[in-house]
């Protein structure tokens, strides 16, 4: 295969990866934006989405059902965690971080003991090949990219047009004032945490037919999401999207030409450089 | 006669927050040994101006000079080392530390000049300085209390004690009497007059009785600008001041 | 600080060190070895506590400093033929250098960004140990066999249990007493002030960025020393110790024992290491206990064990 074809393949892989990453990172950024908390368990929601997709699709035979069920169940788990733990510690930033680290291990180890240490594949719900002049490409990957793009657009519209979105932006601006204007802050928080987790789970569910489900897969997702939100600026959704595309593309290209491990090292160092020059990321607010 | 270098001078200092000009091109002079009051209605830009002087805020334009030296680019901590000491409008003591430890943090600072001081600091001398500062403001008996547990008035004078322990050249007091009772105000005034013997004082104050009692000169701000300056008597009689401020 | 308290505090800490020294005569071999390991890990936690407990900065990337110490020692001995003294020094310097890098890079960040960036950099370091596995041994790691030292003309094997225990004790005691000294020093006071109210501290004339950097350096140095000692005493270097779990552990140990207490890290490490050891005996998902411990603590015992004791019975505890 020629260099041009290689590069094209790398960009294609990068785009698919970037859109899925954007979906995952958007969940993290969204939760930070509304609640001012860092959810360290975010990657585990991604992993849980993937594992649940395997469970549902192997027991019912329907991947489509799995794609719907996984985010819903994960969202419910997140809501439960919010009610039982986060709300009781008043969303105090440091305590929340510690609590979500705890949640990370609880989810990860529960999956290990029930699901086991295996990497399990799921057959794609649609199977076709797209033939380019130089190579054939999995049609499902293109479908994933398209679905992720639609979901991103949907989330964006949801946040700017609906009453829920309005509540969330109000809460993000100022919790006390929002409360004074009868915004049900507690419910908004719970919902935001659930939606954020659901987005990660959806990304995980979409990726299983490409990547296989494994109990440790959450860590890479978390790392890349962190890279993205820091690069884009904590709490900025626009920054998250731009950064996800940058990181996803560079990850895809370096992965194809060199190695996925090197790609992650490079992405992290890239962010470190940006931070050294500009402490709040590309689109961050002046006072984070 | 050679002109005397003022202790503090701002030249055309401005600060914008988004579209709002909180301070617009202010020229302000303060001579060594003065007790100056800075008055004006809420939102006049007083706290912003002293923020620019103490270095908590960066100016959008203009310059600040301290004892003839351009300090516009110096960070707040370096200005504090030079002797520009600010006490907060909202009390900002270390609530979980003892009264003594609060003052020790200030008292040790002037003694930490070289690296070796960090290892071989004269702890007794620092403690003595802290005791002196506490005694001066009348908190000696409360030194082992947690600062957060002090009465509000005591927290305010603890702020002053911390400022004194730093050995200030210029002491900026941001509404020191706010929220204090009558007798507390009286003793604080006595304290400020005592401090004024050795230190230049810049005082933001709403209470006109306090201003008249303490200040040698008064500067009036309104909407980000200085609109009048003079002795307390002159200021009281100034028509623009009466309109903008006293007759509010 | 009252004179009587000072004597009591120093006495207590020396008594703890003495107790650890005495225990080696009583403990059966298994617990003897376990305690040696715990003391090294507790030294690591002591370093972590300087940052979290006394400066208020939560790092999720300390494994990078610990592993830097480990690789600094292991690689120089393995590839360059360093002796144990020079190897140990190389480890300490590597920990310090890693901390300097992270410290400078996070200087401009505030709040949650500090924690995310430390975690990111540590993860990049971990991946690097995997990627250059020809050099580092990657996942498998490598063993340093037959390390020997010499003191006053007597040669000894570092693997000897008594040597291992006493070197571990020495490293731990040094870190503990250094941390005690720092907390009572002018520097310690400033670090606490940064934790309590950074802006107020700046206006008292302290360059708070500099003190944050100093805290990261001190903390990284102690972590590097612990990593170096671990390598020498347990003759093994591997990327596991650079993984995120080894960043979470010191956080857990410190919180469990009590952040901002001098003895907390030891108590937390002791309890948690035994708990993890026991649970791993009967389930593969033994890290579940780590997760549950974190959540339970944050809900019901945020001050930790020593912190709780201080609040209730002994307000003089440092």
Per-residue pLDDT tens for B215-240?
999 999 988 999 889 998 888 888 87
Q: Which residue of B has its CA nearest to C189?
A: B105
Q: Give the closest residue to B60 by CA, choosing from B25, B93, B32, B92.
A: B25
Query: What pLDDT does residue C146 have?
Result: 75
Average pLDDT, chain B: 88
User: In angstroms, rounded to a whole number, what is the distance separating the alpha carbons of residues A32 and C146?
Assistant: 51
Please name which of A162, A176, A288 lies closest in space to residue A236, comparing C-alpha atoms: A288
- For residue A127, is pLDDT > 70? yes
Neighbours of chain A (3+ CB pairs under 8 A): C
What is the per-residue pLDDT for C216?
Answer: 96
* Residue A2: Cβ-neighbour burial (10 angstroms; 0-12, 13-18, 19+): exposed
pLDDT at C174: 96
pLDDT of residue A139: 81
**Residue A269: its chain C contacts at CB < 8 A?**
124
Q: Is C286 within 8 Å of chain A by CB?
A: yes
What count of Cα atoms within 13 Å lies in the side-chain half-sphere of residue C58? 20
Q: What local confidence, expressed as pLDDT, does residue C115 receive?
A: 87
CB contact under 8 A, B105 and C204: yes
Q: Among residues of chain B, what percentage have pLDDT more than 70?
A: 97
Q: Any residues with CB less than 8 A from the CB of C154 and at least 6 apart, and which?
A: none
Residues in chain C closer than 8 A to B50 (CB atoms): none
- pLDDT tens-digit map of A226-235: 889 888 887 7
Torsion of CA B58, B62, B67, B69, to 10 degrees: 80
For residue B63, list its beta bridge partners: B11
Please name the residue of chain C whose CA is at the shortest distance from the CA of residue A266. Answer: C124
For residue A127, give how far its alpha carbon lies from the nearest alpha carbon of chain C (Å): 34
Judge whether C290 and A106 are in contact, CB under 8 Å.
no
Q: Which chains touch B (3 or more CB pairs under 8 A)?
A: C
pLDDT for residue A48:
96
What is the average pLDDT across B175-180?
A: 86
Could you give the C-alpha distances from C148 to A119, B63, C160, C233, in angstroms and in order?
43, 65, 10, 10
Exposure of B57 in the CB half-sphere (CA atoms within 13 A):
21
Residue of A261, A281, A287 to mutate when probing chain C, most C C-beta within 10 A:
A261
For the ranges A265-279, B199-213, C68-82, the lowest mean pLDDT is seen at A265-279
A287: confidence class by pLDDT, cuts 50, 70, 90: very low
Question: Are A228 and A240 in contact, with CB atoms under 8 Å apart?
Answer: yes
* Residue of C205, C215, C218 to mutate when probing chain B, most B C-beta within 10 A: C205
Mapped onto helix, strand or coil, the DSSP state of residue C120 is helix
C-beta atoms of B109 and C187 within 8 A: no
The helix (run of H) or strand (run of E) holding residue B39 is strand B35-39
Q: Which two tokens stand for residue C71?
A: 């690789």
CA B232 to chain C, closest CA, distance in angstroms equals: 30
Alpha-carbon distance A157 to A164, whole Å? 11
Residue of B nearest to C210 (CA): B77
- Phi then psi for B223, rounded to 5 degrees? 45, 50
pLDDT digits (tens, 9 = 90+) for A167-176: 777 777 777 7
Question: Per the CB < 8 Å rule, is C202 touching B97?
Answer: no
pLDDT attached to residue B247:
52
d(CA B122, CA C265): 30
Residues in C touching A276 (Cβ below 8 Å): 104-105, 108
**What's C285's DSSP letter?**
T
Say how far apart CA C305 and CA C263 lie, in whole Å: 10
Partners of residue C116 in chain A, C-beta under 8 Å? 38, 226, 229-230
| C110 neighbourhood in chain A, CB within 8 Å | 279, 288
At A281 the pLDDT is 67
A155 - beta bridge partners? none
For residue C288, the chain A residues in CB contact (below 8 A) are 105-106, 109-110, 113
Chains C and B touch each other (3 or more Cβ pairs < 8 A): yes
pLDDT: which is higher, B181 or B105: B105
Could you tell me which chain C residue has the CA closest to the CA of A232? C113
Residue of C nearest to A215 (CA): C285
A227 CA to chain C: closest CA distance, Å?
A: 7
Q: Is C280 on the interface with A (CB under 8 A)?
A: no
Interface with chain C: mutation pick from B76, B85, B89, B171, highest number of C CBs within 10 Å: B76
d(CA B65, CA B87) in angstroms, rounded, equals 20
Q: Which residues contact C17 (CB under 8 A, 6 or more apart)?
A: C169, C172, C173, C176, C177
Confidence of residue A284 (pLDDT cuts 50, 70, 90): low
- The rounded distance, in Å, linking the Cα atoms of C211 and C198 is 10
Does pTM surpass 0.95?
no
Most confident range (mean pLDDT) of A27-41, A243-257, B58-72 is B58-72
What is the pLDDT tens value at each position of chain C, 318 positions in all? Answer: 455 677 888 899 999 999 999 999 898 989 999 999 999 999 999 999 999 999 999 999 999 999 999 999 999 998 898 888 899 999 999 999 999 999 988 877 767 788 888 998 999 999 999 999 888 888 888 888 878 777 777 788 888 889 999 999 999 999 999 999 998 899 999 999 999 999 899 999 999 999 999 999 999 999 999 999 999 999 899 999 999 999 999 999 999 999 989 999 999 999 999 999 998 888 888 899 999 999 999 999 888 999 988 888 888 888
Residues B241 and C13: their CA atoms lie apart, in Å, by 65
Q: CA C46 to CA C218: how far, in whole Å?
A: 11
Q: Point out which residues pair with B11 in neighbouring strands.
A: B63
pLDDT over threshold 80, residue B71? yes
> Which phi and psi angles does A41 have, rounded to 5°?
-85, 5
- Chain C residues with beta carbon closer than 8 angstroms to that of A101: 60, 248, 251, 291, 294
CA distance C236 to C141: 7
Exposure string over A118-145, b if 16+ CB within 10 A, otherwise e: eeeebebeeeeeeeeeeeebbebbbbbb
Q: Which of A31, A84, A275, A287 to mutate to test the interface with C (most CBs of C within 10 A)?
A: A275
């Amino acid at each position: 295969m020629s260099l041009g074809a290689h590069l094209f393949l790398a960009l294609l892989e990068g785009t698919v990866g970037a859109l899925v990453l954007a979906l995952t990172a958007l969940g993290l950024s969204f939760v930070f934006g509304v609640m001012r908390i860092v959810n360290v368990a975010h990657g585990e929601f991604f992993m849980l989405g993937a594992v649940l997709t395997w469970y549902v699709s192997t027991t019912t035979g329907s991947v489509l059902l799995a794609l719907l069920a996984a985010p819903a169940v994960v969202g419910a788990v997140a809501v439960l965690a919010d009610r039982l733990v986060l709300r009781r510690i008043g969303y105090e930033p440091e305590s929340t971080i510690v609590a979500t680290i705890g949640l990370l291990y609880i989810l990860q180890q529960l999956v290990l003991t029930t699901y086991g240490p295996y990497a399990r594949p799921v057959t794609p719900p649609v199977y076709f090949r797209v033939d380019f002049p130089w190579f054939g490409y999995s049609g499902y990957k293109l479908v994933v990219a398209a679905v992720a793009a639609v979901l991103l657009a949907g989330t964006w519209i949801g946040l700017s047009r609906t009453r829920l979105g309005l509540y969330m932006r109000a809460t993000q601006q100022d919790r006390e004032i929002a409360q004074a204007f009868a915004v049900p802050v507690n419910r908004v928080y719970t919902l935001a945490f659930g939606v954020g987790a659901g987005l990660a789970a959806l990304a995980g569910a979409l990726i299983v037919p490409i990547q296989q489900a494994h109990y440790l897969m959450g860590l890479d997702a978390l790392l890349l999401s962190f890279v993205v939100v820091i690069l884009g600026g904590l709490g900025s959704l626009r920054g998250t999207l731009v950064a996800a595309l940058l990181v996803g593309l560079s990850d895809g290209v370096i992965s194809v030409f060199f190695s996925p491990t090197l790609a992650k090292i490079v992405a992290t160092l890239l962010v470190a450089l940006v931070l050294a020059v500009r402490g709040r990321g590309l689109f961050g607010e002046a006072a984070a | 006669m050679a002109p005397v270098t003022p202790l503090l001078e701002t030249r055309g200092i401005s600060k914008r927050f988004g579209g709002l000009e909180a301070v617009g091109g202010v020229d302000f002079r303060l001579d060594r040994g003065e007790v100056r009051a800075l008055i004006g209605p809420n939102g006049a830009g007083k706290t912003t101006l002293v923020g620019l002087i103490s270095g908590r805020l960066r100016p959008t334009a203009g310059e600040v000079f301290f004892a003839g030296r351009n300090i516009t680019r110096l960070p707040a901590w370096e200005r504090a080392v030079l002797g520009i000491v600010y006490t907060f409008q909202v009390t900002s003591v270390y609530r979980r530390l003892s009264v003594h430890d609060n003052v020790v943090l200030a008292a040790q600072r002037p003694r930490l000049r070289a690296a070796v001081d960090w290892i071989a600091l004269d702890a007794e001398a620092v403690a003595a300085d802290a005791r002196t500062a506490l005694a001066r403001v009348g908190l000696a008996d409360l030194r082992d209390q947690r600062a957060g547990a002090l009465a509000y008035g005591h927290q305010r004078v603890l702020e002053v004690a911390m400022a004194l322990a730093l050995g200030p050249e210029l002491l900026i007091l941001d509404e020191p009497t706010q929220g204090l009772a009558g007798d507390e105000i009286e003793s604080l005034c006595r304290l400020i007059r005592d401090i004024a013997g050795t230190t230049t004082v810049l005082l933001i104050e709403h209470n006109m009785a306090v201003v008249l009692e303490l200040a040698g000169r008064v500067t009036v701000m309104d909407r980000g600008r200085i609109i009048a300056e003079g002795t307390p008597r002159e200021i009281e009689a100034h028509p623009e001041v009466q309109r903008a401020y006293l007759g509010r | 600080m009252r004179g009587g308290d000072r004597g009591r505090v120093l006495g207590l800490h020396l008594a703890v060190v003495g107790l650890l020294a005495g225990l080696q005569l009583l403990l059966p071999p298994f617990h003897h070895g376990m305690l040696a390991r715990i003391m090294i890990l507790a030294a690591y936690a002591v370093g972590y506590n300087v940052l979290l407990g006394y400066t208020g900065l939560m790092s999720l990337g300390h494994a990078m400093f610990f592993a830097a110490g480990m690789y600094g020692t292991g690689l120089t001995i393995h590839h360059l033929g360093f002796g144990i003294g020079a190897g140990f020094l190389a480890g300490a310097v590597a920990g310090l250098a890693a901390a300097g890098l992270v410290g400078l890079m996070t200087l401009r960040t505030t709040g949650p960004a500090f924690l995310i960036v430390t975690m990111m950099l540590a993860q990049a370091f971990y991946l690097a140990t995997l990627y250059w596995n020809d050099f580092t041994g990657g996942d498998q790691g490598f063993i340093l066999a037959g390390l020997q030292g010499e003191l006053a003309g007597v040669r000894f094997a570092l693997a000897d249990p008594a040597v291992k225990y006493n070197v571990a004790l020495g490293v731990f005691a040094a870190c503990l007493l250094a941390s005690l000294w720092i907390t009572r020093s002018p520097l310690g006071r400033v670090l606490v002030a940064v934790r309590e109210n950074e802006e107020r501290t700046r206006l008292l004339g302290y360059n708070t960025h500099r003190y944050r950097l100093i805290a990261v350096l001190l903390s990284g140095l102690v972590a590097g020393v612990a990593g170096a000692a671990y390598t020498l005493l347990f003759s093994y270097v591997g990327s596991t110790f650079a993984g995120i779990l080894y960043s979470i552990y010191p956080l857990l140990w410190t919180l469990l024992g009590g952040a901002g207490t001098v003895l907390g890290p030891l108590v937390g490490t002791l309890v948690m290491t035994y708990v993890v050891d026991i649970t791993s005996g009967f389930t593969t998902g033994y890290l579940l206990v780590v997760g549950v411990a974190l959540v339970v603590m944050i809900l019901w015992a945020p001050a930790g064990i020593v912190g709780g004791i201080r609040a209730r019975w002994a307000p003089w505890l440092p």
